[in-house]
Amino acid sequence: MSAAWLEFLNHVEMLAGFLAAVALFLVFARLQLLAPTPATRLGLVASGLDLLVWLVFGTLWLAGFVPVEPLPGWVARVWDTTYFVPTLWAASIFASTTSLLALGLTLHRGIRPPGPDAATVPGKPQGDEGMHDGRS
């Protein structure tokens, strides 16, 4: 009874972790497009790494469901590779902590989309400020 519960919770844990990694990556991608700062860039890289780790673990997890004979041996070989799981685990800890800290830093600095700021300054051209050469 308990083993079935634990297996079910393990599956839900995988799905929830994957969902969280995807959502966080989407947030950083959107922030990077809207108001890019070093914090959003760091968060985008960290959440991308986290998503990658979840994809690897998710592939192995899904491969465990396939009832074909060669696959379980392949999965077992991957799991048994020295330092494979600890490396992925360490990468996951590093990536998730960094992305949470980057999100905190982004919120601490404030989200400033370029449009309204440019609009509030009278006479300042709207759009890409890098294109402004000072002659207009």
Residues that bind other proteins (CB under 8 A): 1-3, 5-6, 9-10, 12-13, 16-17, 19-20, 23-24, 26-27, 30-31, 34, 86, 89-90, 93, 96-97, 100-101, 103-105, 107-108, 110-113, 115-116, 119-120, 126
Contacts of 118-121 spanning 24+ positions with Cβ under 8 A:
none
Closest CB to other proteins among residues 23, 55:
23
Directed axis angle between helix 38-63 and helix 70-80, to 10°?
A: 130
Taking the least distance from each CB to other proteins, the nearer of 66 and 113 is 113
Q: Of the candidates 101, 100, 122, 112, which has an alpha carbon nearest to the alpha carbon of residue 31? A: 112
- Residue nearer to other proteins on the CB measure, 3 or 68: 3
- Closer residue to other proteins (CB): 15 or 62: 15
The CB-of-3 to other proteins minimum distance in angstroms stands at 8
DSSP state of 35: S
Task: Give the separation between CA 37 and CA 30, rounded to whole angstroms.
Answer: 12
Amino acid identity of residue 132, one-letter, is H
